[in-house]
Structure 1
């Protein structure tokens, strides 16, 4: 009996001790519960006052231990605690940007066209009627001294009669006679016609126009004639380049002016026998194709690299083995509306039998770049809206935005974003799988 009583007393004492210790532990937990902090095991920089998940990796937060020494985050350790989508750990070849000048080329596409300095208009110097027309269709070949047309003009007849009268009635008045000759010259008559008029003493009721240049006619009768015969359209069709001109030759010219037009775009000229022309009206437009040029389109970013005199090598797609050495002669100082490229003109040397007007050609213009940083072309990754290079920082690759310039061969120019002492991945394509989660710092 005594043994049972003794065991019961010991049991009650042990139970009392357990209850007392549990109460103390519960009090300590409640007392410290308000100061408990929770953190992420993988990202210690994440600290909250209540349970939850890590905003970076999604792991459950655990209570932060209050025991031990607080770890100081040094600069060497800081890069390990950065977000995982800001760096890439990879073992790839690296390179450094090099500052140098490069002999670069510009690829250009263009077309063969005329030299606009060789386009001339033949206007009518007097009004009258076309009695005989010898040039009747477009692109008709013309030789120097060839008769173009015969024109009846009352004004020319009056001027001839004045000269004949002065020569017969007052041969001693040289000044008046010379003035009458000059009037005929200004109306388009040649010295040969004036000499013949003084020798025969008979006026000519029709005057002939002669061409002093070789070439062919453009923009003639390319549309239906006007319903009113007394008027004619007064300009020439576009030819796009330089050409020769027609003017007064060794015969009577009722209108040969050597005034080149800056552009060759206008309405078609209509000429018919019997139609009337007025003073100053364009009669013909003639082109001399002996000198041609090529007109190329150059992207905006490369226009500033070209200068007058830069060497150009012109190639013909139809004749892959043929090349012409030329140079840049003219840079158009403005852009056409709605276009993002400028025009560059290159004169083709000599009379080129290879080149034909309207023919498509390609060219390469060479120039030397200004000193700049250059890296392998593969080191810059084009992401569509921006270009990125992977710079090595503390053993890992960090994406940095760069501004890329021109490309020459397997090298690309870096305008900004890198320094000469930076180390970058030589081939950014190796990191293209990582690029999908890489966050580029702006």
Structure 2
């Protein structure tokens, strides 16, 4: 009986050991292993992570292991998916807009008010009264005194006729007219007849109000070469009187060439003596790139502001648009006549202008939606695989929007901020 009992106990021990071994194997097989850095890697046995090579750890080592929450799932997305999912988009809008063109320019003379005072008779300058550039002069002011043998001869002829043949009115009138052609004024002729004695110097007077320009009295030339008259030009009455001339610098002006004068030099008939500019009417001249000047036409309103005078503005209109091509670049000179009798503008003053106009109907997008990559402009159009860069041609700007001439359609969906999509230079590969 005792032996039977021992055999029974042995069988029970074997059965218990077998059951406990099966439970141990089952528990070991049920354990899952994962990578601490890549929770998506899960295996049912120990090993290493195929991504980073780290040893796998049991998921049950820290409670329930790594919990993949909504925030963690967002971080596990590929980088390009994350960017595409979070960028705003917009469609081009077909409309008209009030656009403006900003221009930088300078105040300059009106060439139609730049006059030349020529010599009507050849002779020698005895006294010179115009000494420096931008010297103000008025109409009838004496500019210089000139000695001319032709004037002396014409005076003697008139005095001879007046004294010896006063009844011959026709000859006397012809002699008076000859003196007038040589630059003498009626007042000078009448004084000559009253005094009965010829004058060896005649005064040359200015027929215009304004400022002297293009004058260089420092040149020692004995005989100044004639130069073409500028502006509308005009005749000159006889002139006179003065002091010794002072050296003045050469100045570049709209008239062009400089005039060199000094006392004692000889002048020839028709030679420009001085140039006078009337500054009562000025204009502003702006250089505008070719792409911006297309909508500007005569009569377009322009608001001119002065950087040196904050808050001061002038309202004017475009008077002339002149195309230019220089050094491989197209541009235009936009000229705007300033309102008369204004005291804000001075010759040589830098100004800014803002011309406004209404555009034709076109596609408009935010400025941020178009990226300038140097050789072209690019927008990012949404496609099935994300965003693709497309080349676009832009027009004018209106506020925070830019006009699209070609490259996009009204039904296209583009990225609102093109710069956000650029992560490297190689990313932008425009196919068209």
TM-score normalised by the chain length of structure 1: 0.69
1:384, 1:333 → 2: CA distance?
Answer: 25
Deviations 1:114-171 (A, max 9, x none): 2212211111111111122222333322232221111111111222222333334444
Matched with 1:386 is: 376
Deviations 1:381-418 (A, max 9, x none): 22322222222334743332211222222111111111
Q: Decide whether aligned partners of structure 1 residues 170 and 324 sit closer, same or farther in structure 2, where only a CA change above 3 A counts.
A: same
Matched with 2:398 is: 408
Greater shift, 117-126 or 190-199, is seen at 190-199
Contact 1:292-1:347 within 8 A present in 2 as well: yes
- Name which of 305, 315, 323 aligns with 1:325: 315
1:103, 1:163 → 2: CA distance?
Answer: 71
Q: How many residues end up aligned between the 2 structures?
A: 339
1:243, 1:281 → 2: CA distance?
Answer: 15
Matched with 1:373 is: 363
Gapped runs of 5+ residues in structure 2? 1-79, 241-252
Matched with 2:300 is: 310
Please state whether the residue corresponding to 1:334 is helix, strand or coil: strand
2:232 is aligned with 1:232: no
Give every structure 1 segment of 4 or more consecutive aligned residues whose post-TM-superposition deviation is greater than 6 Å. Answer: 242-246
Matched with 1:334 is: 324
1:334, 1:394 → 2: CA distance?
Answer: 46
Matched with 2:264 is: 274
2:174 is aligned with 1:182: no
Matched with 1:191 is: 186
Greater shift, 99-108 or 352-361, is seen at 352-361
Gapped runs of 5+ residues in structure 1? 1-84, 255-261
1:339, 1:93 → 2: CA distance?
Answer: 37
Please state whether the residue corresponding to 1:138 is helix, strand or coil: coil
Q: Decide whether aligned partners of structure 1 residues 133 and 89 sit closer, same or farther in structure 2, where only a CA change above 3 A counts.
A: closer
Matched with 1:298 is: 288
- Name which of 353, 359, 375 aligns with 1:363: 353
- Residues 49-88 of structure 1: matches in 2 within 5 Å? none
TM-score normalised by the chain length of structure 2: 0.71
2:364, 2:139 → 1: CA distance?
Answer: 58
Matched with 1:211 is: 206
Contact 1:246-1:286 within 8 A present in 2 as well: no
Q: CA RMSD in A?
A: 2.9
